Amino acid sequence: MGIKLVILESPAKAGTVGRILGKDYTVVASKGHIRDLPESMLGVQIDKDFEPVYVNIRKQTAIINELRGLAREADTVYLASDPDREGEAIAWHLAYILNVTDAPVYRVTFNEITEKGVKAGMENPRKIDFDLVDSYQARRVLDRLVGYQISPILWKKVKKNLSAGRVQSVATRLICDREEEIENFIPKEYWTVTALNETKKPGKETFKASYYGRGGKKEELKNGDAAAEVVKAIENSEMTVTDVKKTDKKLGPYAPFTTSTLQQDSSHKLGFNPGKTMQIAQQLYEGVNVAGVGFTGLVTYIRTDSVRIADDAATEARNYIRNKFGNEYLPPKKRVFKTKGSAQDAHEAIRPTHIDFTPDDVKSSLIGDQYKLYKLIFDRFIASQMSDMVYGQTSVTLECNGYTFKTTGSVVKFKGFSAQYKEDPVATASKDAPEENAKLPQLEKDDIVLVKKVEPLQHFTQPPARFTEAALVKALEELGIGRPSTYATIISTIEAREYVKNEKKLLVPTEIGKIVNELMKKSFPEIVDVGFTAGIESKLDEIAAGEIAWKQVIRDFYGPFSKELKEAESIERVVIKPQESDQVCEICGRPLVYRKSRFGEFLGCSGYPECRFIKPIQKEVAGRVCPECGRQLVYKKSAKGRTFISCSGYPECKFSSSYEPTGKMCPRCGKYLVYKRSRGNKRYIACSDPACGYVPSASAKKSRDAASTGAEPEKK
């Protein structure tokens, strides 16, 4: 008897699906793509109507042979790669490579890796969707034409190992343009005047009110003289309440997560970058071993730009809300959120697969970061089906000697969805949430209050803020650049190419990033044009919908692009001067400049190659001295690029450690204590001598026992 062969991409997901389907199925993984454009050449036959040339990926040879052998023995083959364009392309490549003629080949997709989701997928087999495959091919060919034909020009005109990309170059431009706005920003002075008032009623409560204007008209205080005039007029005076408005306002919950909003909220609330968020989310989707249940996926498919949810999922959420909070926390019917017009809406929003698996129920089965992200997804989904938050807002207008002051207070009257999920109006400024602790005294019209203190403050308008990774994701989504599955890769690419550096979680363009951006703007204006790039994304969606032919999109693009390539060959080479340091060469006295090698940054003589003096850059370990000689500790890198801690007195003192010393000594053996990390990535203190095994507390001892002996040093 033959086998029922199911092929997925991920070994972890294959393991979970295999346990669900049971012994009647053979479930294996392709471990990603098995066929692609060649790395060593363009791989697109421009003179043959842009026909792509696909080759088997060399490192996948053993897997290809294994899959071919299994397919020959199979009664039925199910191609179950991810339910998106890339997954459809993988299924298409698998069908080509396996070349199965004696058994039917079906395409199946799983929106969630649960018993319900897997069985639903297997019960609805279909053929490969060639519209999705063509959309993938168009994207792949476009990216290859741009990357492989512009990058060599950058090598010749700027320096080696640079690259351009159809989307990465636009993202770099956004960051460079923002930096230019900041550099060209001219601050303008303005002043505010705040009065601290005290009621005359028993209790003498105080509250603050801000200057609004004169005669009911708003006025901006542009200098200190104008502010001083207001201060002089109201000091040691009384204010009269001229108007009190009380209103109840409602604030509705946000939709459940899309890929983009998950990355943004995870950054704001958990401090995860987009890459880390997607890595952990993938683990939750593919399946974890839940105690008492076994392997199961905890969240639905994580690459989506839809906010739609299934009816049964909404019903489960409403039942959960009713049981936990009561009927008053339920709206009359299921909430339906509107998906953006540009969204593909092929999959549901990201939500828990099992409402019964609350974060606390599965906490013991998850590592720390998995639990944090799962809780975020769970809470956001439940809250999305809850009642509005209701808050009372009081707006008070006061007059004093012809000057108008105003103040506003808010108090939450009904928590609504915020009982499950606290919104962050700073992170998502599209909502007007009430401020905490903003309650005002009971004030009525014609009340008189005393002006106890007046505070004038000088301000200057601020330039636009630099992008954080989360803000860049939001901008890319709003501008229609890239797709949910690509945001994390875009950011990691421009950082890896050193076009952008991450300084205190803010994205700052490097000098090389600015140079490449300027060259791209002059020579390839359409490639870095936001509107043009967004238009290409729309064309890819039209291909996926079967509305246009993919090669026509390539033809329309390549005509103007090929002319730009020819013209770019004649531009002058850019000379990049290395950045000078504040140190001088110990041999010839010329300034030392910053240079880079594969081991990292170092200082070299600006007179190179006449003078070859070099000096390592040593970053100090703040507040830490060598436990053996008392000199400053510094970070160093090994020949393999691994960071470790060493004494700055080397080679006189040969102290080194993979872990950061705490500055304290072990009370048990007298050796130095260090910071280590458990498998859950929690920091704890332990003796540097493994044979001693001392940790300061029982809880830390458990962490130490759980940690691997080769734990990485804390990242700086």
Residue 560's identity, in one-letter code, is P
502-526: pLDDT as tens digits: 998 999 999 999 999 999 999 999 9
Residues known to be catalytic: 301
> Which backbone phi and psi does 539 adopt, to 5 degrees?
-65, -40
Residue 412 has φ and ψ, to the nearest 5°, of: -75, 125
d(CA 501, CA 514): 12
User: What is the pLDDT at residue 670?
Assistant: 86
Whether residue 328 has pLDDT greater than 50: yes
| Average pLDDT taken over every residue of the chain | 90
Asked whether the domain spanning 189-252+389-460 has the same topology as the one spanning 3-128, the reply is no
- The predicted model gives 593-601 an average pLDDT of 79
Spatial separation of the C-alpha atoms in residues 124 and 83, rounded to whole Å = 13
pLDDT surpassing 60 at residue 713: no
Given a contact cutoff of 8 angstroms between Cβ atoms, the answer to whether 704 and 676 are in contact is yes
Distance CA 272, CA 278 (A): 10
Q: Give me the pLDDT at residue 700, please.
A: 42
Count of Cβ atoms closer than 10 Å to residue 692 Cβ: 14
Q: What is the pLDDT of residue 394?
A: 93
**What gap in Å lies between CA 36 and CA 192, rounded to an integer?**
61
Q: Which CATH superfamily is domain 189-252+389-460 in?
A: Topoisomerase I, domain 3 (2.70.20.10)
Tens digits of residue pLDDT in 677-707 = 876 677 899 999 888 889 886 434 443 444 4
Instruction: Give the CA distances from residue 113 to residues 180, 262, 284, 474, 582, in Å, rounded to whole numbers and listed in that order.
Output: 46, 19, 9, 28, 57
Is the distance from CB of 596 to CB of 180 less than 8 angstroms? Answer: no
Structure tokens at 307: 């906010």
Residue 680 has φ and ψ, to the nearest 5°, of -85, 10
Question: Spelled out in words, what is the top-level CATH class assigned to the domain 137-184+466-568?
Answer: mainly alpha
Secondary structure, 3-state, 35-82: EECCCCCCCEEHHHCCEECCEECHHHHHHHHHHHHHHHHEEEEEECCC
Rounded Cα–Cα distance for residues 272 and 379 (Å): 17
Confidence class for position 100, pLDDT limits 50, 70, 90: confident
Residue 159 near residue 513 (C-beta atoms within 8 A): no
Amino acid of residue 162: L
pLDDT category, 424, cuts 50, 70, 90? very low
Distance of CA 332 to the CA centre of its chain: 35
CA 487 to chain centre: 8
* DSSP H stretches of helix in 123-186: 130-157, 168-184
576: CB partners within 8 A, 6+ apart: 158, 159, 511, 512, 515
Q: Which residues contact 369 (CB under 8 A, 6 or more apart)?
A: 270, 272, 276, 280, 681
Closest residue by Cα to residue 78 from 4, 1, 3, 2: 4
- Three-class HEC string of 449-489: EEEEEEEEEEEECCCCCCCCHHHHHHHHHHHCCCCHHHHHH
Q: What is the reported pTM?
A: 0.81
Rounded-to-integer distance, Cα 314 and Cα 101, Å = 43
| Predicted confidence (pLDDT) per residue in 534-574, tens digit | 999 999 999 999 999 999 999 999 999 999 999 999 999 98
Q: 3-state class of 422 per DSSP?
A: coil
Q: What proportions of the chain, in percent to the nearest 5, are helix, strand and coil?
A: 35, 25, 40
Q: Are 162 and 497 in contact (CB under 8 A)?
A: yes
CB 334 within 8 A of CB 322: no
First CA to last CA distance, the chain: 57
CATH 3.40.50.140, domain 3-128, yes or no: yes
pLDDT per position as a tens digit, 371-386: 999 999 999 999 999 9
Question: Domain 259-384 falls in which CATH fold?
Answer: Topoisomerase I; domain 4 (1.10.290)
What is the C-alpha separation between 341 and 439, in angstroms, rounded? 40
Residue spans of the domains in the chain: they are 3-128, 137-184+466-568, 189-252+389-460, 259-384, 662-716
* pLDDT of 602 higher than 90: no
